[in-house]
């Protein structure tokens, strides 16, 4: 896992490049704040927007696909790795530390766009909250292809050890499932594999095999509730899990091979949902409990408040017969919780990509509903 480092002069960065057939790659950016500044607990939305804007400036069609495409997203971003200290209602970044940020590509078009992007890379990142100097570019995950992953030798006995650095969760019947159940974990990777590898496999048959034969050999996990994306909170888990195979699993060599290669894909694609907002960051190997990324307390507080308000507003709207109760309730809860933490309506509107007047109206309705409760 990337570690923060003390401030130092910017190194001479070699120009990164990779083969034209590359489909998977992870980039790590070292960032130095231009000045001390604070970011909101949901700062990953600003990083997400900055990256999409970089794509839009050079390839509008690709940017539109990344933003609006209905298939799996062919990229992930991490949260910032480094000392983010809670300061009142925000998180503070300081000039005497550097921070690491990882972007991965999961498809050939995006990997090749990133290759061109790095021939004349930006030297700064400007967010709404503040700005960074990019002091170094390096590889977080080596360039490769899906076919090359399939050529990796499988150990004997076959095992996979994965560590989840940021809260990881799955959607199940409209709720969050914060448990590393094998079917959910490997279904997450299979969706990306089927979308981008060009070697799609039968999903139902493989997942039946996973459900019967993939077991958890050991684990060390804990739960966390965080904000992610533009609205709502997520209950997830962090920690390490070792998976193995039981019974006659090895009678089906093709599925053993697929299961193992999906584990190799995990660090590139992340695990679960909202991986484009920093959740589900995954690495190979076992971590000590002290190495697992714990969200700062301000994130916990905001996420808990959104969850509390969402439950309250959902119950009210269902009693009143409102349509789309959960969706509206979650939006109201997000706006009100962020207002309670001191954010301006203008900033919330920009982040949620909603009009100022709509956000203002929702804030009033949410306050009224809270008073009625």
The answer on 161 and 94 residing in a single domain is: no
The answer on 160 and 118 residing in a single domain is: no
The answer on 273 and 169 residing in a single domain is: yes
The answer on 194 and 271 residing in a single domain is: yes
In sequence order, what are the residues at sequence separation of 6 or more whose Cβ sits closer than 8 angstroms to the Cβ of residue 169?
Answer: 176, 177, 178, 234, 235, 236, 237, 272, 273, 274, 279, 280
Task: Give percent of the chain with pLDDT exceeding 90.
Answer: 59
More confident residue, 119 or 15: 119
**pLDDT at site 184:** 97
* Residue-range definition of the domain harbouring residue 259: 147-291
Which range, of 81-85, 121-125, 143-147, 277-281, averages the lowest pLDDT?
81-85
Assign residue 128 the CATH number of its domain: 3.30.70.1890
**pLDDT at site 352:** 80
The answer on 233 and 153 residing in a single domain is: yes
Tell me the per-residue pLDDT of 160-196, one tens digit each, with 9 for 90 and over.
999 999 999 998 877 788 999 999 999 999 999 999 9
Residue 272 lies in a domain: yes
**pLDDT at site 172:** 81
Query: Considering 266, 291, 316, which residue would you say is the last residue of a domain?
Result: 291
Residue 352 lies in a domain: yes
The answer on 216 and 177 residing in a single domain is: yes
When the pLDDT of each residue in the chain is averaged and rounded to a whole number, the result is: 87
**pLDDT at site 152:** 95
The answer on 278 and 162 residing in a single domain is: yes
**pLDDT at site 317:** 67
The answer on 51 and 35 residing in a single domain is: yes
**pLDDT at site 3:** 37
Confidence category of residue 90, pLDDT binned at 50, 70, 90: confident
Which range, of 14-18, 182-186, 218-222, averages the lowest pLDDT?
14-18
Query: Considering 239, 274, 291, which residue would you say is the last residue of a domain?
Result: 291
The answer on 152 and 138 residing in a single domain is: no
Confidence category of residue 228, pLDDT binned at 50, 70, 90: low
Q: Provide the domain count of the chain.
A: 3
Assign residue 206 the CATH number of its domain: 3.30.70.1900
**pLDDT at site 12:** 44
């Amino acid at each position: 896992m990337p570690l923060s480092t003390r401030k130092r002069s910017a190194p001479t960065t070699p120009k990164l490049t990779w083969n034209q057939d590359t489909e998977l790659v992870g980039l790590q950016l070292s960032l130095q704040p231009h000045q001390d500044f604070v970011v909101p607990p949901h700062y990953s939305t600003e990083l997400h927007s900055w990256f999409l804007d970089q794509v839009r400036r050079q390839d509008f069609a690709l940017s539109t696909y990344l933003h609006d495409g209905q298939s799996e997203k062919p990229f992930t971003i991490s949260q910032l790795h480094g000392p983010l200290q809670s300061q009142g209602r925000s998180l503070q970044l300081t000039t005497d530390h550097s921070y690491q940020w990882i972007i991965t590509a999961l498809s050939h078009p995006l990997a090749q766009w990133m290759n061109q992007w790095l021939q004349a890379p930006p030297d700064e990142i400007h967010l709404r909250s503040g700005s960074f100097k990019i002091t170094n570019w390096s590889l977080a995950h080596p360039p490769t292809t899906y076919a090359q992953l399939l050529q990796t030798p499988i150990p004997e006995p076959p095992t996979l050890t994965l560590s989840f650095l940021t809260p990881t969760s799955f959607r199940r019947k409209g709720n969050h499932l914060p448990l590393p159940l094998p079917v959910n974990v490997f279904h997450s990777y299979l969706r990306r594999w089927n979308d981008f590898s060009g070697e799609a496999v039968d999903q139902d048959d493989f997942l039946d095999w996973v459900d019967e034969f993939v077991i958890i050999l050991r684990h060390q996990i804990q739960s966390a509730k965080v904000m992610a994306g533009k609205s709502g909170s997520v209950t997830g888990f962090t920690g390490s899990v070792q998976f193995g195979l039981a019974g006659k699993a090895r009678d089906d060599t093709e599925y053993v091979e697929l299961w193992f290669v999906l584990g190799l894909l995990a660090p590139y694609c992340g695990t679960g949902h909202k991986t484009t907002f920093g959740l589900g960051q995954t690495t190979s190997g076992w971590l000590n409990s002290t190495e697992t990324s714990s969200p700062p307390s301000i994130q916990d507080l905001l996420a808990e408040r959104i969850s509390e308000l969402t439950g309250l507003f959902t119950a009210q709207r269902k009693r009143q017969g409102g349509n789309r109760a959960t969706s509206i309730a979650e939006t109201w809860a997000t706006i009100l919780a962020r207002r309670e933490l001191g954010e301006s309506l203008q900033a919330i509107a920009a982040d949620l990509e909603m009009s100022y007047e709509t956000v203002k109206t929702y804030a009033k309705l949410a306050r009224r509903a809270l008073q009625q409760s």
